[in-house]
Structure 1
């Protein structure tokens, strides 16, 4: 008899564990990951930071789920599971029937988001994009109904964060709608899911019940659960009265996401994302590249300062006028291109997701080192070549100035600085051109020994 009771208890525990997930949670924060874009690694890092901030910083009472396509690298999956504590669900990419439009190609795999409705082992799921910055715990959202989302646009809710109740029926209906190619306003998950819940704007605003019970139905979430970072830049602070200021989203240009080092101080909120990364994930993966580049640039600067100033223009000689003009034109183009490379190559080499202070420091160090090479090679005035470098440093100081009253004053200050610096930069470019022309004119000669050996031959031919 005792053995039968024990067997029944074990079966009950097994059923309970399967119904509540591996860790016993009935709810989950979920995000998706797929491959096929130039920014796959950056989004992988962003997902890790978001998951770690939820689990280690805000201590959410829920599972962390990553809906990953089958082509996500195995070592990424292992890291997400073993180091970040996520449950990874592997899925096949859903074919996007709207991807024929060239403008929608970058959204061709975002419809994988609807797999969230297939996670029926959970009662509620908060579905997230990777570009969410959490400011506090949002577990109260699990009390929301079958579907809840925020209208950061007056007429269209945003799918960067929404609450759903998983349902096999809803999931199958969505797959059927995909096969039919139902109308989609943007060719991505935003337009498709928006079409599934067209009446959400008319639904009541969500307020979490104090007793912790789950609501039924659909609700609009207060704006504080999905604050558009664009609003922040108007006042350089938050003042959202409807609901808690919980989550910031960055729906703008993909090359200004908060994890890119160049996004700050252009967009001040980028530093907050990096502070969360510093507190949770760290920068161990990028630091070897930073150290190698720093040593290389410092070595270049040391070598240039110890060497004499060689001139590439001495490769040129006084021959036919046409040949001389052609060589001078080529050398001018090489000199200008070298200055251009001095300011662009270091930008491309800095690890994209490094901390902004490290990123800008490494960029300025690299551009200074390469500018010194161009200056010495073509006998250019160093101050003129570094005018742009100094202008960039000044722009960073103006943008990062911490005591602006609001975003409008900050924007006007940046505009005034650009208006003041533009003529100086233009004059410096003209001076570089003049110096380069004079340098080429002076240096178009053979070394004296060769010149002396040629002169008698030329004299004999004349007479």
Structure 2
């Protein structure tokens, strides 16, 4: 009996011990993970965010996409945003929630803002030197928001006290550079700014070039295989700052010097890759939007696009119904004989004025939809809503002035053709692509001119011949005889 009783007791004791061991292992694992997550990083990737430009929101989105890409690449570094005090609080909170460290700083007043040809949108780029004040880090990679990462470039943290790449053969590019934070260097730079040290462009580029004057003579950076850090100044290979312009000649990357790591877009500001209209003019825009889909997505703009699309579809449907009913009524005696005649007798439709008005409305039909589409949506969505919106506006113009449908829609159809030629994915190089665009333009131009002439002819007929003849006859002859001739 005692053995029978002891067996259940022993089994219960073993089970309790097992549960305790499992719990201890789980707690130890959680503590280890928490310790690992809480381990301070010795390096950082940093970017700058300030207000006062025409494109503050776009830069905010671009910063989130770039840092989100680095987060997905699992870089061994903190991700830091140096944000001026004017950056909205909810933007700062969003950046923090997404795993980035926000360092709030006061804007450095730019002493060069009164210089001739100074661009006001760069007024606070000197905030970039705050990166030297991040002395809790051993190395920092400072980034502009228009960088697109293809791989994890953590080897950059092995570089020296200052390292940058030369896109221009003589002047290094400040869109990406490596530095060793230093309070002494930061103080020296602040003194140089207050003393208004010579600066060729009045922004960060000219200031840093004047500070590191001999970087062109420094050796090329090659990361040591043992993982050690270098001392001194070094040039970075162009693979760390691949200008997107290099891609468009061959429509492929041919950068044999150094790893192809980072694409940069120092192009026309309105053709930055996050703008939906930059594609297909600049094919690499899709690569940036792929990164956005992988990181922050498009939730904030989706509702706006849906609302715009529904408005265009519903109102276009109503416009078609109204057009059909008006066409039926127009066949009646009153509309054909009196309506337009009275309208023109009051000098409300001078042919030249009417042609100019129609031309302006057609132009607005393409401009207005583009202005109300959120600027950073995916190109496919942006162009889709743009074509729908411009078609809606052109439909309104056609119905309002009773114009021929096909000639008025010719620019819209031609635009679809142009997008197709630009987006064709099988060009072997950029020269063939440019030639195809030139040929298409040469073919379409006379078609557009012919369409414009047809619209002009219709306006001439309706404003000169039909209405005036109708009203003259109605005034000069007997009513019944005139009506029999005209109707």
Please indicate, yes or no, whether the TM-score normalized by the shorter chain is above 0.5. yes
1:30 match: 46
Match of 1:360 in 2: 383
Indicate conservation of the 8 Å contact 2:239/2:259, yes or no. yes
Q: d(CA) in 2 for partners of 1:434 and 1:326?
A: 14
Q: What is the rounded CA distance, in whole Å, between the counterparts of 1:207 and 1:117 in structure 2? A: 23
**Which stretch of structure 1 is more off in the superposition, 269-278 or 436-445?**
436-445
Pick aligned residue for 1:411 from 399, 423, 434? 434
Give 1:54's match in structure 2, choosing from 50, 63, 70.
Answer: 70
Structure-1 separation of matches of 2:456 and 2:264: 46
User: Which residue matches 1:375?
Assistant: 398
Q: How many Å separate the matches in 1 of 2:276 and 2:354? A: 35
d(CA) in 2 for partners of 1:71 and 1:21?
31
8 Å Cα contact 2:47-2:145 kept in structure 1: yes
Structure 2 residue 115 is matched with structure 1 residue 92: no
Does residue 1:241 correspond to 2:256, yes or no? yes
The alignment status of 1:346 with 2:369, answered yes or no, reads yes
Within the alignment, does 1:196 sit opposite 2:219 as a pair?
no
Distance 1:455 1:353, change over 3 A: farther
Contact 1:60 1:137 in 2 (8 A): yes
Which residue of 132, 135, 160 corresponds with 1:117?
A: 132
CA contact (8 A) 1:65 1:86 kept: yes
Return closer, same or farther for 1:64/1:315 CA change in 2, 3 Å cut-off.
Answer: farther
How many residues are paired up? 433
The answer to whether the Cα contact below 8 Å between 1:21 and 1:122 also exists between their aligned partners in 2 is no
Aligned partner (choices 289, 292, 302) of residue 277 of structure 1 = 292
Which residue of structure 1 aligns with residue 358 of structure 2?
Answer: 335
Please give the alpha-carbon distance, in whole angstroms, between the structure 2 residues aligned to 1:205 and 1:185: 26
Distance 2:436 2:270 in 1: 24
CA distance in 1, matches of 2:230, 2:422: 45
Describe the shift of the 1:191–1:413 C-alpha distance in structure 2 as closer, same or farther (beyond 3 A).
Answer: same
Taking the aligned partners of 1:293 and 1:347, their CA distance within structure 2 comes to 11
Rounded to whole Å, the distance in 2 between the matches of 1:179 and 1:173 is 10
Tell me whether 1:136 sits opposite 2:151 in the alignment. Answer: yes
Pairwise CA distance, 1:102: 3.7
Following the alignment from structure 2 to structure 1, what is the Cα–Cα distance between the partners of residues 460 and 309? 34
Report the 3-state secondary structure (helix = DSSP H, G, I; strand = E; otherwise coil) of the residue aligned with 1:265.
coil
Q: In the alignment, is the contact (CA less than 8 A) between 2:46 and 2:82 conserved in 1?
A: yes
Unaligned runs of 5+ in 1: 1-16, 457-463
Deviation of 1:307 (Å)? 1.7
| Whole-angstrom CA distance in 2 between matches of 1:443 and 1:332 | 17
- Aligned to 1:354, the other structure's residue is in SS state coil
Is residue 156–residue 194 contact of structure 1 (8 Å, CA) maintained in 2?
Answer: yes
Tell me the CA shift for residue 37 of structure 1: 1.1
- In structure 1, distance between residues paired with 2:432 and 2:469: 58
Counterpart contact for 1:50–1:132, Cα < 8 Å: yes
Task: Tell me the CA shift for residue 22 of structure 1.
Answer: 6.5
Across the aligned residues of Structure 1 and Structure 2, the Cα RMSD in angstroms comes to 2.5
Does the CA-based 8 Å contact 1:30-1:127 persist in structure 2?
A: yes
Partner of 2:165: 150
Distance in 1 (CA, whole Å) between partners of 2:438 and 2:201 is: 34
Answer yes or no: is the 8 Å Cα contact 1:236–1:406 preserved in 2: yes
> What is the aligned partner in structure 2 of residue 7 from structure 1?
none
* Aligned CA distance change for structure 1 residues 315 and 250 (closer, same or farther; 3 Å): farther
CA change 1:265–1:196 in 2 (3 A) is: same
Query: Displacement, 1:440?
Result: 2.6
| Alpha-carbon distance change, 335 to 159 in structure 1, aligned in 2, over 3 angstroms | same
Alpha carbons 1:316, 1:324 under 8 Å: kept: no
- How far does residue 308 in structure 1 lie from its aligned partner after superposition? 2.6
Deviations 1:118-165 (A, max 9, x none): 100100000000000000001110000000000011000000000000
Q: Secondary structure at the match of 1:404?
A: coil
1:303-330 residue CA offsets vs partner (Å, 9 max, x unmatched): 1221236599987645897x52765544
**Separation in structure 2 between the aligned mates of residue 316 and residue 90 of structure 1, nearest angstrom:** 66
Q: Cα deviation per residue 1:56-80 (whole Å; 9 max; x = unaligned)?
A: 2x11110000000001000000000
Alpha-carbon shift at residue 445 of structure 1 (Å): 6.7
